[in-house]
Amino acid sequence: MEPQNFHMPLLGDDFPEITVQTTQGVLNLPKDLKGSWFVLFSHPADFTPVCTTEFVAFQDVAGEFEKLGVKLIGMSVDQVFSHIKWVEWIKEKLGVQITFPVAAANDAIANKLGMLHPGKGTNTVRAVFVVDPEGKVRLVLYYPQEIGRNIDEVLRAVKALQVSDKNGVAVPANWPNNRLIKDRVIIPPPKTVQDATERLKKYEGYDWWFCHKSL
């Protein structure tokens, strides 16, 4: 049975309005980050091995997210003092300085974001929300506690979303290393018979419904 007020944000929805205390101060989402992409990722608990490897992995590519104009925010239902101590531990023991804020969610916020899954215990699952500058949810991932995320895929997905938005194109599997068209992008399908007959005169492709181009 679903818990009361349980929600799972859907693609294209407005990101739910939440106010959280973070290791870098209070944050009102999505309002405080309007005009910027952000990635909010939750973890089950501080001072746990898989979560620690994920935080180090996110920090390793934090500069790449920054180049894309993307803010990173970590989150769990641990209290903020626990986050502060854990971040200190990561710096002291592993030599990695966590530069992004880590938010302290309560159960109400976690339920609002669909991060508490009854079948997986009382900790938050490993959720990822990619939110665009308009505050719209563009990508959602949920991983169980026992499986760490592929941070490179989160970065790839954000790049792909930005490329799609900017160029009005679709992005193939494993882009930019697709087996069929490598780093090329896919032209949206034609909307009329006339467009279909002209398509292969304008673009390279396998057929009028599968055309592609370089950026």
Q: Which residues are catalytic?
A: 51
Encoded amino acid at 58, one letter: F
- 204: which residues sit within 8 A by CB, 6+ positions away? 211, 212, 213
Q: Which residues of 132-167 are buried (b: 16+ CB within 10 A; e: fewer)?
A: beebebbbbbebebeebbebeebbbbbbbbbbbeee
Nearest to 90 by CA among 77, 106, 74, 105: 74
Question: Which residues make Cβ contacts (< 8 Å) with residue 12, sequence separation at least 6?
Answer: 136, 137, 138
Consecutive H or E run containing 105: none
Is residue 98 a contact partner of residue 55, using CB atoms and an 8 Å limit? yes
